[in-house]
């Protein structure tokens, strides 16, 4: 679907750069009862996919296993400018399939997730992974669709600068 205010739309490259620059967002799902369910999460970006972790049971995992699709929203900037009655915002919305990482790829997914936050050689990292690996499930979401948008004044300012 074409963005209504398409002049404010960011390129895919700009949207991915925002995904790489941030660490939290809101995952939106449909739960087992058909109700919308949004949950704030930290994430990692790796190989054109988002990685998440969760407990071995619960509402989020049930919704993912039942429906297999999700939306994820990242707010990169949000500044109300009262003198202009405007909001200087930059945000990204991602949608795509989401699934549980297979048992064979679980450790690699955890390492990829942690590498988004710290160097793979960070002291104690492997010990931490070993401690928590058996109690969690790794999830991956493809960036099938990604769109970024910025506020009108930010867009106008950028076009004047560029």
Per-residue pLDDT of the chain (162 residues; tens, 9 = 90+): 666 666 677 899 999 999 999 999 999 999 988 999 999 999 999 999 999 999 999 999 999 999 999 999 999 988 877 777 777 888 999 999 999 999 899 999 999 998 898 887 878 888 888 888 888 999 999 999 999 988 777 767 766 776
150 contacts: CB under 8 Å, gap ≥ 6: 8, 10, 89, 90, 158
User: What pLDDT score does 123 carry?
Assistant: 82
Inside any domain, residue 1 = no
Distance CA 102, CA 17 (A): 28
Q: Does 150 reside within a domain? A: yes
Residues 6 or more apart in contact with residue 17 via CB below 8 angstroms: none
- Domain range for residue 120? 6-161
d(CA 122, CA 100): 26
| Residue labelled with tokens 């969760």 | 54
Q: Does a structural domain hold residue 128?
A: yes
CATH code, 57 = 2.30.110.10
Instruction: Report CA-CA distances (Å) from 72 to 44, 79, 86, 106, 140.
Output: 12, 21, 24, 22, 12
Residue 41 lies in a domain: yes
pLDDT, residue 2, reads 66
For 32, residues 6+ apart whose C-beta sits below 8 A from its C-beta are: 59, 62, 63, 66
**Domains contained in the chain, number:** 1
pLDDT at 162: 65
């Amino acid at each position: 679907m074409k963005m209504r205010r398409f002049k404010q739309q960011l390129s895919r490259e700009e949207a991915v750069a925002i995904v790489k620059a941030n660490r939290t967002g809101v995952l939106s799902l449909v739960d087992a009862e058909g109700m919308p369910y949004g949950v704030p999460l930290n994430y990692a970006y790796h190989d054109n996919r988002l990685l998440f972790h969760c407990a071995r049971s619960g509402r989020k995992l049930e919704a993912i296993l039942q429906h297999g699709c999700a939306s994820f929203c990242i707010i990169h900037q949000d500044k109300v400018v009262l003198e202009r009655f405007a909001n200087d915002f930059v945000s990204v919305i991602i949608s795509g399939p989401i699934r549980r990482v297979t048992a064979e790829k679980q450790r690699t997914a955890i390492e990829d997730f942690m590498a988004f936050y710290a160097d793979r050689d960070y002291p104690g990292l492997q010990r931490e992974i070993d401690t928590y690996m058996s109690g969690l499930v790794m999830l991956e979401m493809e960036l099938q669709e990604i769109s970024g948008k910025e506020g009108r004044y930010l867009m106008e300012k950028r076009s004047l600068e560029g």
